[in-house]
Amino acid sequence: MRLFIEAVKGLGVTMKHFFLNMFYHILRFFHLSHKKGETVTTQYPEEKRETFTRVRLRHRLLSRDDGRLRCVACYMCATACPAQCIYIEAEEDPRNPLEKKPKQFIINLGRCAYCGFCVEACPEDALRMDVHVPEISEYKKEDLLYDIDKLTHW
Amino acid sequence: MSNRKRIKITIDGKEIETYEGTLIIKAAEDAGIYIPRLCYHEALKPDGNCRMCFVEIEGLRKPVPSCLTPAKEGMVIRTDTDALKKHRSSILEMILTTHPMDCPICDQAGECALQDYYFQYDLKESRWREKKEKKPKRVHWGKNLIYDAARCIICKRCVRFLDEITGTQELGVFERGIHSYIGLFDGNRIENDYSGNLVDICPVGAITDLDFRFKSRVWFLNRTPSICPFCARGCNIEIHTNTKNPFSSQRVYRIKPRKNLEVNKWWICDEGRYSYEFIDSDRIEYPMARGKKTSWDSVRQEILKIVGKDVRLYVSAWMSNEELTYWMQIAKTFDWKLSLVGKPRGKGDEILKLPDKNPNRKGAEILGIREEIGHEEVAVVFHFLPVSLERHKIKIGIFTNKFEGMDKFDIIIPAAVFAEKEGSWTNFQGKVQNFQKALEPIGEAKSEGEIGEFLANTLGLDLQWEIGKYREEFEKELRKWNG
């Protein structure tokens, strides 16, 4: 008997929210009220929620004015990375005065914790993170290994 | 040494005893007090040009360079007063006015004396507002040396090294003041056998190694103490490894010397430094039968064929003392003959290199193994081909690296190289020196001790490979040999 009462009580809460939301939505539909507090589903692909400016999203590798990568393959990001998801291979850059450039620069976004330490660590300001583009998705796990090509073009 | 007077001096309130005339910096280091230095190196004559090692001595008005001042009875020395710290900070600030802040691309970063001292004593922003001096970068000095004049702090360690240790004198200081740089004398290149040591003694990243250039950052490397296998001297080395590089199968990145005053002092030769490729490349990773990959089961089958036949073991002078003792034990049980194989003699010199290119010929000598030629039916060959292999019908090889004529062997068992196992070698002085395991054996390779256990078990002998036990047995032999 007690269980039954509790079930009815619970259903009561559900119903309360249902009708309250419906009431607000109807008011909103007829432009009678814009009271915030109703539950809203964002219709994602057509409609996008605004992201905060403090969020950290996918990485970008920046270039210098002459088109060369800013990155000098110093491994600071790879050293700072707590998830150890940055893999760099360095090579000699014959152009003066920078002697070093990355031959390969791969960030495994499947492993990345989006902590932003790599951006903090970069002495050349070569690595930054997106703010308002939350779409980071791939169909295959392997495609989450972002290389120089993917990180520089957008 | 013994006729010099023992004196007592006080450094930072600690009373220490030393010989009269010992340099203060050395006396302090022996007592565990480290005085910062850039130009001073234990092995070289003091030059006193960097001014980092200044100390205060009671009774003297001004601080003095500790690398040029010999200790005297009753000296009271202070190394860490505020005035000295300020002095060091100013010295660093002056050096950093010309030093390019290119630590991100410098291979020395992480083991750079200037970097360390900056964090310890300076740690402030530069007040230098002028342009930095432009100097040549990427100057090739020799096969493996690359010089960056901009990073150079003109401590002259390299010049002194080539004057005093190798005596070849290729380098000198050119120009004056802020324009000065280290350069090669006309038409010279540094081609002596000890050039790699210049990289070690350079306190900053002015001289870096072309062989190690941009391969890895130093803080990713694991350092394992080991012994150089390339000659009978047994120089103390450190193997720097990194097995986590996703782009390369290279495991060993470089070899650095370890200080041992009785054997190699501070140095190693270039042959020992740059010949580490054999650890990673051209290795035999699986058991082979007549040049083709095979399984351990067929190895077992093949080994069973040698039961009851005359066997000669060609143990090598690259095996550790313990392994030699263990294999001797196996040979004694089965009544097999033993002989020694090794690398042929090469060139030696007066500094470190010896003509005997094997690390453990002395150990084999102590155990009484000699180079002999035999014509038994079965030959078990370790590491090197003996002279008369054709006379044996069944050939079993235990090799680390691929070589020509592998298909002549009925069975080749992959063996671990010295960096993949622990053990000890006896050098030409009769000193037993340990090397430690830096890497896991490649593929299915096993150490010679484990191979011995495998062989003994296959042949129905219960003789376990215990490194400690055979170490003790070898030491017994050593004591007998020493008398």
Mean pLDDT split into 10-residue runs, chain B, 483 residues: 82 92 93 94 93 93 94 92 94 92 91 94 89 88 92 94 92 91 89 92 94 92 94 94 89 94 93 93 91 91 88 93 94 91 91 93 92 87 86 90 89 94 93 94 93 92 91 93 87
Tally of structural domains, chain B: 3
Q: What is the pLDDT of residue A127?
A: 93
Mutate to test the interface with B, among A95, A100, A108 (most CBs of B within 10 A): A100
Q: How far apart are CA B457 and CA B437, in angstroms?
A: 25
Q: Residue B335: phi, psi to the nearest 5? A: 60, 45
User: How would residue A23 be classed by pLDDT, with cut points 50, 70 and 90?
Assistant: confident
Query: Is B140 near chain A, with CB under 8 Å?
Result: no
Hey, which residues does A146 pair with through a beta bridge? A107
Q: What is residue B225's three-state secondary structure? A: strand
Chain-chain contact of A75 with B220 (C-beta, under 8 angstroms)? yes
What are the chain A neighbours of B215 within 8 Å (beta carbons)? Answer: 90
- Considering only alpha carbons, which residue of chain A is nearest residue B148? A99
Contacts of B431 (CB under 8 A, 6+ apart): B234, B262, B263
B133/B66 same-domain check = no
Q: Which of A76, A99, A123 sits opposite B138 (nearest CB)?
A: A99
User: In the predicted model, is pLDDT for residue A129 greater than 70?
Assistant: yes
User: How would residue A21 be classed by pLDDT, with cut points 50, 70 and 90?
Assistant: confident
Chain-chain contact of B247 with A104 (C-beta, under 8 angstroms)? yes
DSSP string, B185-199: -TT--B-STTTTHHH
Mutate to test the interface with B, among A77, A89, A92 (most CBs of B within 10 A): A89
CATH assignment at residue B63: 3.10.20.740
Distance from CA of A154 to the nearest CA of B (A): 26
Q: Which of A96, A106, A124 sits opposite B104 (nearest CB)?
A: A124
Q: Is residue B93 part of a domain?
A: no
Distance from CA of B40 to the nearest CA of A (A): 30
What are the chain B neighbours of A96 within 8 Å (beta carbons)? Answer: 137
Domain that holds residue B131: 99-112+121-213
Chain-chain contact of B104 with A123 (C-beta, under 8 angstroms)? yes
User: In the predicted model, is pLDDT for residue A37 greater than 70?
Assistant: no
| Other CB atoms within 10 Å distance of the CB of residue B44 | 19
B28/B59 same-domain check = yes
Q: Which of A75, A87, A104 sits opposite B217 (nearest CB)?
A: A75
Instruction: Return the structure tokens found at A59.
Output: 């990485």
What are the chain B neighbours of A124 within 8 Å (beta carbons)? Answer: 104
Chain A residue set in contact with B, beta carbons under 8 Å:
72-76, 79, 87, 89-92, 96-100, 104, 106, 123-124
Distance from CA of A113 to the nearest CA of B (A): 20
Chain-chain contact of A73 with B214 (C-beta, under 8 angstroms)? yes
Q: How far apart are CA B353 and CA B345, in angstroms?
A: 11
B477/B344 same-domain check = yes
Chain-chain contact of B214 with A74 (C-beta, under 8 angstroms)? no
**Counting one residue from A and one from B, how many pairs have CB atoms under 8 Å apart?**
38
A56-152: in CATH 3.10.20.30: no
Q: Is residue B271 part of a domain?
A: no
Q: Which of B105, B219, B247 sits opposite A89 (nearest CB)?
A: B247
Hey, which residues does B413 pair with through a beta bridge? B398
Q: A67 to each of A62, A125, B137, how far by Cα in Å?
A: 9, 15, 23
Chain-chain contact of A124 with B246 (C-beta, under 8 angstroms)? no
Chain-chain contact of B137 with A99 (C-beta, under 8 angstroms)? yes
Q: What is the pLDDT of residue B62?
A: 93
Q: What is the pLDDT of residue B452?
A: 93
Q: What is residue A108's three-state secondary structure? A: strand
Q: How far apart are CA B47 and CA B236, in angstroms?
A: 27
Indicate the residue among B160, B180, B213 that finishes a domain: B213
Query: Is B220 near chain A, with CB under 8 Å?
Result: yes
User: How would residue A66 be classed by pLDDT, with cut points 50, 70 and 90?
Assistant: confident
Q: How far apart are CA B415 and CA A73, in angstroms?
A: 37
Domain-wise residue ranges, chain A: 1-41, 56-152
Chain-chain contact of A90 with B220 (C-beta, under 8 angstroms)? no
Query: Is B101 near chain A, with CB under 8 Å?
Result: no
- Considering only alpha carbons, which residue of chain B is nearest residue A90? B214
Query: B240 and B252 in contact (C-beta within 8 Å)?
Result: yes
Q: Is residue B169 part of a domain?
A: yes
Q: Is residue B253 part of a domain?
A: no
Q: Average pLDDT of A117-138?
A: 90
Q: Is residue B224 part of a domain?
A: no
Q: What is the pLDDT of residue B2?
A: 61
Query: B407 and B397 in contact (C-beta within 8 Å)?
Result: no
ipTM of the complex: 0.82
- Considering only alpha carbons, which residue of chain A is nearest residue B245? A87
Q: What is the pLDDT of residue B261?
A: 93
Q: Is residue B383 part of a domain?
A: yes
Chain-chain contact of B137 with A96 (C-beta, under 8 angstroms)? yes
Chain-chain contact of B213 with A76 (C-beta, under 8 angstroms)? no
Q: Which of A72, A91, A97 sits opposite B104 (nearest CB)?
A: A72
Q: Is residue B251 part of a domain?
A: no
Query: Is B246 near chain A, with CB under 8 Å?
Result: yes
Chain-chain contact of A90 with B246 (C-beta, under 8 angstroms)? no
The pTM (predicted TM-score) of the whole model is 0.88
Query: Is B137 near chain A, with CB under 8 Å?
Result: yes
- The percentage of residues in chain A with a pLDDT greater than 70, rounded to a whole number, is 96
Contacts of B260 (CB under 8 A, 6+ apart): B235, B236
B422/B468 same-domain check = yes
Chain-chain contact of A92 with B214 (C-beta, under 8 angstroms)? yes
Q: Is B294 exposed, middle or buried (0-12, 13-18, 19+ CB in 10 A)?
A: middle
Q: What is the pLDDT of residue A52?
A: 86
- Considering only alpha carbons, which residue of chain B is nearest residue A123? B104
Q: Is residue B326 part of a domain?
A: yes
Q: How far apart are CA B386 and CA B443, in angstroms?
A: 26
User: How would residue A35 be classed by pLDDT, with cut points 50, 70 and 90?
Assistant: low
CATH assignment at residue B142: 3.30.70.20
